[in-house]
Amino acid sequence: MTARTGGHSSFARQAAARPDGTIGQMQVNLEESWSLGGVEIPSRLVLAPMAGVSVQAFRRQGRRYGAGLVCSEMVSVAGIQHGNERTLGYLRVASDEHPLAIQIFGSDPRAMGEAARAVEAAGADVVDINFGCPVRKVTKTGAGASVLDDPDHAARLVSAVAGAVDLPVSVKMRRGTADGSRDCLTVGPRLVEAGAAALTLHPRSAKQMYTGFADHSLTAELVSLVDVPVIASGDVTSRARAQAVLATTGAAAVMVGRAAQGNPWALREIMGDSCQPSREEVVAELVLFMRETVRELGEHRATGFLKKFYAWYLGHGRFPKPFKQELVMLPTIEQVELRLLAAAPGALRLLERLEDDLGPVDEVLLDSLPISIYGGG
């Protein structure tokens, strides 16, 4: 495949060519399965790993709404080494999450290998390595996006992980640390040589954080350079955009992140169902998410964690802004739930149906996990 040029402006013109997401006569089947190192992924939609978001409840919901692969938030290898209770809690795996990638970050090859073995023992299908986080508290430790500045060290980290486990290893990375960087095109092939079975590229620089645009011309170039699947991440917010990115880059799948925060219907729309949710459906999904998060994190942690989700779920013109503000001010999750169900009484029947369909949670329990993280108790 010949690498494309022209940056975001030319890509955007192509993406907007047709409202149904086709590029010329080319239409990509998002329901087509693909293989990541021997693990079959049932759709070409991947739910991104997001710190402070990708709890188990979020991942299970993503699978229900069409994501073929879901990912944990990034897990500190130092936290795993030291037996940190909150860190080990990220290794909880429910049976209906599969296929699941658990993402780790760190800068020491030996520690990364040990953490990968814990991920394998937890029951994950893929070990993902974070070379993309741009946050200072991560990069200053020599982890995250900063690893891209040292291709040799990046390759050593991937080699240590790939050599430690039988699971396929994937790597999520940025284009580089500096604006305009093309380091991903140098580092990416090195990572594949070191044992990476797939690469995810978010073609923004670490310096950009989440500003500007994701330059998927770089994604197309990376696809042309490696013989493993490439997942395209960044600015995938609709079915049309997903189709455009896949058709113009040759990527195996698209990764959706911020667009799915409190909005699983964005995943459904990308997969081809454009029906907007009713208020009752929104409330039912939010209350289910709240209950599942309390089960996972415990009442105390969940109370603060959930506040950002209220605005995410109830936005998009679904509920008035004062209502969202009212929920944030309520002191307990029980009061929030009662207020939500009062605002959309029909949601209760939908909620009961959802809970019946889900059934009890079946989790892998590791001997190394502190008992207090289960059931939030």
Virtual CA dihedral for 77, 81, 196, 143, nearest 10 degrees? Answer: 30
Considering the domain architecture, whether residues 253 and 307 belong to the same structural domain is answered as: no
User: Does the predicted TM-score (pTM) go above 0.95?
Assistant: no
Instruction: Give me the number of domains the chain comprises.
Output: 2
Burial (0-12, 13-18, 19+ Cβ within 10 Å), 178: middle
Whether 376 maps to a domain, the answer reads: no
pLDDT number for residue 361: 73
Q: Average pLDDT, stretch 272-290?
A: 96
Confidence bin at 40 (pLDDT 50/70/90):
very high
Confidence bin at 86 (pLDDT 50/70/90):
confident
Considering the domain architecture, whether residues 125 and 202 belong to the same structural domain is answered as: yes
> Quick check: helix, strand or coil at residue 151?
helix
- Dist. CA 150–CA 146, nearest whole Å: 8
pLDDT, tens digit (0-9, with 9 covering 90-100), for 301-310: 999 999 999 9
Give the DSSP H or E segment for 350: helix 347-358
Rg of the Cα atoms in the chain: 20
pLDDT number for residue 336: 98
How crowded is residue 377: how many other Cβ atoms within 10 Å of its Cβ? 9
pLDDT at 16 over 50: no
> Which positions are catalytic?
133
pLDDT at 41 over 50: yes
CA-to-CA dists, residue 187 to 127, 147, 212, 251, angstroms? 19, 10, 23, 18
Q: Which amino acid is at 341?
A: L
Under 8 Å between Cβ of 125 and 167: yes
Domain housing 125: 11-270
- Residue with the bigger pLDDT between 371 and 269: it is 269
Single residue among 244, 270, 296 that ends a domain in this structure: 270
> Which of 37, 2, 8, 21 is CA-nearest to residue 203?
8
Under 8 Å between Cβ of 188 and 225: yes
> Quick check: helix, strand or coil at residue 102?
strand
Kindly report the average pLDDT of the chain as a whole number. 89
> Which of 248, 219, 268 is CA-nearest to residue 28?
248
Q: What are the DSSP E strand ranges found in 163-317?
A: 169-176, 198-205, 230-233, 253-256
pLDDT number for residue 85: 86
Considering the domain architecture, whether residues 70 and 112 belong to the same structural domain is answered as: yes
Whether 374 maps to a domain, the answer reads: no
- What does residue 46 show for φ and ψ, rounded to 5 degrees? -120, 135
End-to-end CA distance of the chain: 53
- What does residue 45 show for φ and ψ, rounded to 5 degrees? -120, 125
Considering the domain architecture, whether residues 170 and 297 belong to the same structural domain is answered as: no
| 104-113: b (≥16 Cβ within 10 Å) or e | bbbbbbebbb
How crowded is residue 50: how many other Cβ atoms within 10 Å of its Cβ? 18
Whether 2 maps to a domain, the answer reads: no
Whether 101 maps to a domain, the answer reads: yes
pLDDT, tens digit (0-9, with 9 covering 90-100), for 186-241: 999 999 999 999 999 999 999 999 999 999 999 999 999 999 999 999 999 999 99
- 26: domain CATH number is 3.20.20.70
pLDDT at 12 over 60: no
pLDDT, tens digit (0-9, with 9 covering 90-100), for 255-278: 999 999 999 999 999 999 989 999
DSSP 3: P
